[in-house]
Chain A
């Protein structure tokens, strides 16, 4: 079966985002960018399905500016067979992304789409669910285990209070949680090989999707600052402060 893995180029997770001085957005100039960590897990899962003989083709897709091809090459180096770049310089919303991805699902007809559960920049946690709705597929979100058998995919989900397992008819959409797997690193020979793998570029506005903004970003501010408090000497002083000063115990 074919697996489609949408990925996103985001700020590196170790970098602390800085707000622009005019409060228009977060400043991403000269900031280290990388593949969203949840997308790395999605790619890894798809490749494991291929190694297990369950999947025969892994297609990576991204939507964004030209520079996003760097992350597609990473996906190819990790083991994806081909890549699709939907090129746009617009900052798109989850609904737009889901609609564009639905077009790719229509074109590629994957039996399984695996996405990260959220991107660490917008923290929306929406795209996978929206794509499932638009393609009328079942969804297994926040997956920590994925098992494919008898035309179904069993997804163990990380929910508040524990774990829940659901069975989805294929084709289906799965979003990954952190504990699904541990992503591998790309080896140098594989990085070299990835340069020769096919990468198709499609202009976002050629897919017939209405990309009019639905959400207006009014401003972006720094959160209220917390300042360092005091260092106490010992446990007795700590308990004393919590009782009399902070009055929380």
Chain B
């Protein structure tokens, strides 16, 4: 019984989701190996090797894996799967993309976005936009699992584990990379930030999101958005917090001009402290907010910025 974790990274740096996913993998109770697949990974392998609980680091460094296309990633993971009872990845867009493909190739079910490990076969996961928590037991001999990173802690450090390089190259020829359009940001990543300030439809337009910048700077916060704000074109979609966007659980979540629809709450209701600023006293967001301020956001935001 051994667990394989597939690392989440952007070829340059390891994503914090990996450490949290390793934390979940360690809780399963078996030795943990980590696979890093990508291009030019030299610096990252030593970083992974220093994460507590990692027995071996497997490095598949090849241009084929640069964009982690699902077809070649799943073939690579399949080729390594024989010795592992558990195959685990973060429930990021990358993990969600290739893991079900791995599961189908292995002819096993996948357990998506676990939020807790009960035992090596049994896990908790949210269903119905987080309105219910299911406890499920995998009956397959191999378990394919994705992890909701926001539900697990960062794993500590250790002295370096062994690093092995993997020479298998699986190029499916079914797909190819064309281009990427990255949203540039100086701020911390939404899923890793300790403070998140989000704007909703109440922001009225994209320019008004600038009102959040000063506050975000002072708090070292990431800026998020509700689906309404994204659909209205105020901000790009990768800022969306919710069932269909990103799941965050920061220490402090400030919801500005957000009503608090089911789909949005699914993405942030595990935040430690929630603040809601909304002029509608009946907005559902106030039912989950620790601190509510019923006021016009255009008056309040400049005041908040200067008060910090």
Contact = CB atoms under 8 A, between A and B. Distances in A.
A16 interface: yes
Contacts of B238: 158-162
Nearest to B140: A214
Given A123-B128, A134-B104, A223-B130, A229 B237 contact: no
A220 B175 contact: no
Nearest to B182: A162
Given A95-B108, A178-B227, A178-B244, A221 B182 contact: no
A19 B132 contact: yes
A246 to B, nearest CB: 5
Interface in B92-114: 92-94, 96-105, 107-113
Contacts of B230: 179
B238 to A, nearest CB: 6
Contact residues on A (Cβ < 8 Å of other chain), bracket: 35 or more
Given A126-B110, A142-B93, A215-B137, A235 B126 contact: no
Interface stretch (A50-58, A104-112, A164-172, A195-203): A164-172
The DSSP consensus for interface residues of chain B is mixed
A242 B273 contact: yes
A239 B252 CA distance: 12
Contacts, number: 255
A158 B237 contact: yes
Given A214-B140, A241-B291, A17 B96 contact: no
A95 B109 contact: yes
B307 A239 contact: yes
Interface string B65-85: 001011100100000000000
Given A160-B246, A179-B237, A125 B178 contact: no
B110 to A, nearest CB: 5
A194 B74 CA distance: 40
A13 B96 CA distance: 22
Contact residues on B (Cβ < 8 Å of other chain), bracket: 35 or more
A230 B304 CA distance: 18
A122 B127 contact: yes
26 contacts: A17-B127, A17-B129, A26-B127, A94-B109, A121-B127, A123-B112, A129-B100, A138-B71, A138-B172, A139-B101, A158-B93, A160-B93, A160-B238, A161-B10, A163-B181, A166-B176, A167-B175, A178-B231, A213-B139, A215-B139, A218-B137, A223-B131, A231-B292, A242-B291, A248-B272, A249-B252
Interface of B: 10, 67, 69-71, 74, 92-94, 96-105, 107-113, 122, 126-140, 172-183, 191, 195, 219, 227, 230-231, 236-238, 243-244, 246, 251-252, 262-263, 269, 272-275, 281, 286-295, 300, 303-304, 307-308
